[in-house]
Amino acid sequence: MEADYVIVGAGSAGCAMAYRLSEAGKSVLVIEHGGTDAGPFIQMPGALSYPMNMKRYDWGYRSEPEPHLNNRELACPRGKVIGGSSSINGMVYVRGHACDYDHWRDQGADGWGYADVLPYFKRMENWHDGGHGGDAGWRGDSGPLHVSRGGRKNPLVKAFVEAGGQAGYPLTDDYNGEQQEGFGPFEMTVWKGRRWSTANAYLRPALKRKNCDLVRGLVRRVVMCGNRAVGVEATIKGQTQVVRARREVILAASSINSPKLLMLSGIGPAAHLTEHGIEVVADRPGVGANLQDHLELYIQMAASQPVSLYKYWNIFGKAWVGAQWLLGKNGPGASNQFESCGFIRSRAGVDYPDIQFHFLPIAVRYDGQAAAEGHGFQAHVGPMRSASRGAVTLRSADPEADPVIRFNYMSEESDWVDFRQCIRLTREVFAQEAFKPFVKKEIQPGAEVQSDDELDGFIREHGESAYHPCGTCRMGRAEDKTAVVDAQARVIGVDGLRVADSSIFPRITNGNLNAPSIMVGEKTADHILGRTPLTPENAQPWMHPDWQAAQR
């Protein structure tokens, strides 16, 4: 049980690294606590609400009671299956905005500006525009990760983009290309009607090589020899054993489990570790801190015509959708149904989008509960760059105990201002001419909910996580006390140990986090191999020419 590189977690970044390191001839051992991703619940894109709510595929984490959200405990799903969260997520593919990465660079993640990461996004992508146009020069066409667009046949999907234009916002053919800002078609990690997780894109091809192996087990801690990581202690088939790393241990266990493993291994805030009787190897106060997420609301409308996906929301409809998918990998089950989106700025003076819309042609919750009204549609909306910060800490020194997850959502006044604005701007889009043939009434918040206080009450009761936790092992310069890893993803203060997953994001990116997490795996693989990073590309993204004075 040893390899050059031991990767903990077969998730979005872990699979990408396993592929690149084994491709370079290194021996790689990936340890994953979860099991197989076989079966229609994961592979059928339209079934996405199932795996996210199944204990078999999900770690089942919940936040502590959130003081600003009526003390509700919010779900925090993380994939416990090969492919990790890319096997249970909504498959939405968003790179993030160029300015996100320039901010990373300016915060001390040297070599992670947009010019530096763009070549990695291109390397990982195999982009299919589906005849909808887009920015081919900004996209990759030969990577392992297939990125496609839905059929966009539902009239509501088109109405959403039209309404955005009617409200005065720009339209964009490719928000992952030159221009993120505006309304346009959404992209997804789906190929030939199947979920194209990192297990399908990266891990399966890697495992065909003799030098890459996958082991099922629960990693308990990193084994240190003085100041150097030499392997991991894991429970495999009921036995606790040490898996040795000849060169490095790489944690890619998620923004929840990577900081937990560092702390269990003696790397973290010294006082907190001592409190749990853990010997301190490196005092890094940033481990587990800087936790960020996107919070969102579902603004739901009842439809005046039977045009939504609700027609399939019964036993016969679901059976028909399932049969179509099983027989031909087509029909509604072949899409995640997020086929239109929008990225806008909340007000004048904001230089790049800070609000994202996911449009869905049905009124339904993430747990699969349809709105009582029947036919409807909704936009998921929320601020992209909340100032609130939380933390992941240890509940005990027992590796099998869930960590303590405190997001501290809505703890900053600016979040309330931004969220109210999100609701009002969404209502304005739904009030446009394009939706006139389809709108019956507003389901939630409900037309009577108008004042700041009423909107705040709705946010407290209905704000939900978009499931984008990140930031708990922040990347920065070695002299930065709050940084956990350096710009090559090496854990500061110890040798032979890296972290590469969404936990190293200095700040949350604009949109869904799966694409940037995979990019982190791709780029870190080059650092691990000691390669010169891909040549930076100084592509200039579109910025609203009048952003200082105009909101749209």
- Residues taking part in catalysis: 468
Is 193 labelled a binding residue? no
From 186, 209, 176, 222, select the one nearest 519 (Cα to Cα).
Answer: 176
Instruction: With beta carbons less than 8 A apart as the criterion, state whether 301 and 443 touch.
Output: yes
Largest CA distance in the chain: 69
Give the integer Cα–Cα distance in Å for 347 and 219. 46
Give the integer Cα–Cα distance in Å for 282 and 273. 10
Is 81 labelled a binding residue? yes
Using CA atoms of 32, 34, 35, 39 in order, give the dihedral in degrees to the nearest 10.
Answer: -130
What are the φ and ψ backbone dihedral angles of 202, each rounded to 5 degrees? -115, -45
491 - beta bridge partners?
A: 485
Residues in the chain: 552
Is 91 labelled a binding residue? yes
What are the φ and ψ backbone dihedral angles of 246, each rounded to 5 degrees? -70, -30
Give the integer Cα–Cα distance in Å for 299 and 127. 31
Q: Return the H-helix or E-strand segment holding 315.
A: helix 315-328
Give the integer Cα–Cα distance in Å for 342 and 171. 9
- Give residues with Cβ within 8 angstroms of 345, minimum separation 6: 181, 351, 352, 353, 354, 355, 544, 547, 551, 552
Is 219 labelled a binding residue? yes
Extract the annotated binding site.
81, 89-92, 219
Extract the annotated binding site for FAD.
81, 89-92, 219
